[in-house]
Every structure is written in C-alpha cells, then in structure tokens.
Amino acid sequence: MNLIRPPAVAGLFYPANREELAIEIGSLLGDAAVQPLRPKALIVPHAGYIYSGPVAASAYAALAPLRRMIRRVVLLGPAHRVALHGLAGSDAERFRTPLGDVRIDRDAVAAALQLHQVSINEHAHREEHSIEVHLPFLQTVLDDFALVPFVVGMATANEVAEVIELLWGGEETLIVVSSDLSHYHPYAAALKLDRHTAQMIEHLDPLPDHERACGATPINGLLRAAQRHGLAATLLDLRNSGDTAGDRARVVGYAAFAFSKGDSPPAENLRHVR
C-alpha cells in the first residue's frame, strides 16, 4: 500500500516548484483583506490559483491568529472524478505537496469509519483536486497540523453533518468545506445567482441543488452543524473567473465564508466585487 498520496494537480492548478508556490501563496495572502474573526469553519473555493486563489486567500488569511492553536483540519471536498456513495476517507499516512507532507490523523479517520456513510476509497482521492489545492495554503498559514480528508459523493446533509459533529472537537479543530459556486453562466447571470447563493449561506439556509455550488452537499452538512453550534456565517469575498482571470462569456463563481461565534462584521467591511 502506498502510504503517501502524491500531488495530482501540481503544475496544473498551482505551481509544482516549491519556491514558486511559496512566493505565489505569500503574494495572495499578502493581498487579502483580513477580518477580525476566529473561524471554526470555512468555505473556500478550489479552482486553479489564477482563478480562485485570491478568494481562497481571503479565507486562509483569517487563520493568522489561530496559527499555533489549530492542530487538526477536517477537509471535505466534492467528488469530481469518481462517482461514490457517502464520504471517502483515505488510508494514506500523508498527503504530499511541493511544500512537503501533511500527516493524516489516522485515529480520526478510524473513528469516522464507524459511521455507515464513511468508507476508505483511495481511487476517489487519487486525482481529486478539491482537497489538494487547499493544502499549500494550510501548510503556509498553520504550524504543525494533521489532516482528516473526505471526498464527498452522494450523501445527505445529515450524513455529512454527522461526520462533522463527530470530529468537531474544540479550538484545535478547523472544519473546511471546499466548493466553487455556479458554473459556466454569462457574467451578469452568474453575479445574480452567486449573490443569492451567498445570501442563503449567510442565513444558514440549505442550498437547493448543485447548480448553486458543486460542493452543495458538504456545504449543507456544515450549515446544519453551524446552526447547532450557534455559529454565524461571514462572507469574506465573492467573485468569479471573469473578475480574476478569464473572459465573461462563461464564468465560474467563487466565494469564501468564515463561520464563527458571535455577530458578523458590518456589511460595509466585507469585500464584494461588483
């Protein structure tokens, strides 16, 4: 058994060279607006860095005050390559990126395997980008941490929420849901649709379908957990590929959200693009 999951999209979604990758992430984080939050959970996009990197950076920059506190990251990304039922964990001991290896919390994976909806499926992880693209950001903004990765297939919001609740932990645990928003609409139509989706997430309302977000299933599981724990959702950034790097004929939407205790910052302090 291969105990290291090698990078699948280095050189495609982000630089394969260690130095180039470190410079790019440093630049993205340096340009990000930072809100005075202490997130327990995040929703972060997962496209190539040229497209969604600035939006992802707005979420990961918020973790600066928690750099030494967070020791475990539960990361849920939608399946793009493999059709599967439930949530797929990994038997790997480490996930590798050009910045080094991220160790897997094998005890947490074993605990999740006690739930009927969780299984080990290395094939689901092998080429999946929705988890991998977040790791270099996490390696940059956190000190030593362990990863609990799940590829989410056909599942209910309750099934996802059950996994999140099981691994909720305390201040040492961060929950990250990986998702883009709408896909391949004209720019103006995408703006309208993504703004409405963002409002639903801010109000902790479940998303009706995957046309709103490819990660609607893990998002809806997180929203249920957020309601139970009294978390507020704060929109950190909302853009699409027409704003970052691409034409406006067919765009993909990206948003970043932080979930934390207490009230959200005033709306005028949030970054929205047109």
CA distance 221 to 175: 11
Q: For residue 147, how many C-alpha atoms fall within 13 Å in the half-sphere facing its CB? A: 31
Question: Sign of torsion, CA 228 152 33 193?
Answer: negative
Percent of the chain with pLDDT over 90: 93
Tell me the per-residue pLDDT of 133-182, one tens digit each, with 9 for 90 and over: 999 999 999 999 999 999 999 999 999 999 999 999 999 999 999 999 99
Question: Sign of torsion, CA 65 163 152 18?
Answer: positive
Q: Residue 85: how many CB atoms within 10 A of its CB?
A: 12
Q: What pLDDT sits at residue 34?
A: 86
For 62-116, strand residue ranges (E) read 72-78, 87-89, 94-97, 100-104
Judge contact between 193 and 185, C-beta under 8 A: yes
CA distance 217 to 63: 24
Q: Structural domains in the chain?
A: 4-263 (3.40.830.10)
Measured torsion, CA atoms of residues 203, 138, 213, 219, in degrees rounded to the nearest 10 = -50
> Per-residue confidence at 263, pLDDT binned at 50, 70, 90?
low
Q: Mean of the per-residue pLDDT values for the chain?
A: 94
- DSSP, collapsed to helix, strand or coil, labels residue 253 as strand
Q: What pLDDT sits at residue 264?
A: 46
Phi, psi of 14, rounded to the nearest 5 degrees = -160, 165
CA distance 214 to 88: 17
CA distance 253 to 190: 7
Using the predicted structure, report yes or no on whether residue 1 has a pLDDT greater than 90: no
Q: Where are the alpha helices (DSSP H) in the chain?
A: 18-31, 49-60, 106-112, 122-126, 129-132, 135-141, 157-166, 187-202, 216-229, 241-244
Angle of the 18-31 helix axis to the 49-60 helix axis, nearest 10: 60
Q: What pLDDT sits at residue 266?
A: 41
